Amino acid sequence: MESAVWFPGVEPRNELESRFIDRLRERAASWDVPGLVPDQTWGLAAMIPLYVEVTVPGWQAHWSERLSLQVGYWSEASPSLGWCLEGAWGDAYLLDNHDPKDSDCLTVVGGD
């Protein structure tokens, strides 16, 4: 029996996206979160940035809407910034809750 794929349906558009999603899938296989399974992850490469999402079991916002961890990966950002990775807890709207000044948000620019 073949194991389920983390972030199914993500088809990287370039080598950097391919390395990112391969490494993410590799790391996801070792996540130890009770109730978290590959079916609770997905991604979308039809937009910029490459988008991935994890629905964390049992996590719920105060307004009763389930939240998920949303991450955007820009592999071809501006030449002055290089690549960029941003993440935040989100709702039904993709990547609309990211605030680089918020310590709960992930912002990584440049690097390897």
Q: List the domain boundaries for the chain.
A: 15-109
Q: Tell me what pLDDT residue 64 has.
A: 43
Q: Which residues pair with 73 in a beta bridge?
A: 50, 85
Task: 55-62: list long-range contacts, CB under 8 Å, 24+ apart.
Answer: 57/33, 58/34, 61/91
> How many Cβ atoms are within 10 Å of 84's Cβ, its own excluded?
18
Q: What's the mean pLDDT in 42-67?
A: 77
Q: Which of 21-25, 54-58, 61-65, 90-94 has the highest mean pLDDT?
A: 21-25
Q: What's the mean pLDDT in 97-105?
A: 79
pTM of the model: 0.81
Residue 93: pLDDT over 80:
no
Q: Rounded to the nearest 10 degrees, how much is the dihedral formed by the CA atoms of 101, 103, 109, 112?
A: 170
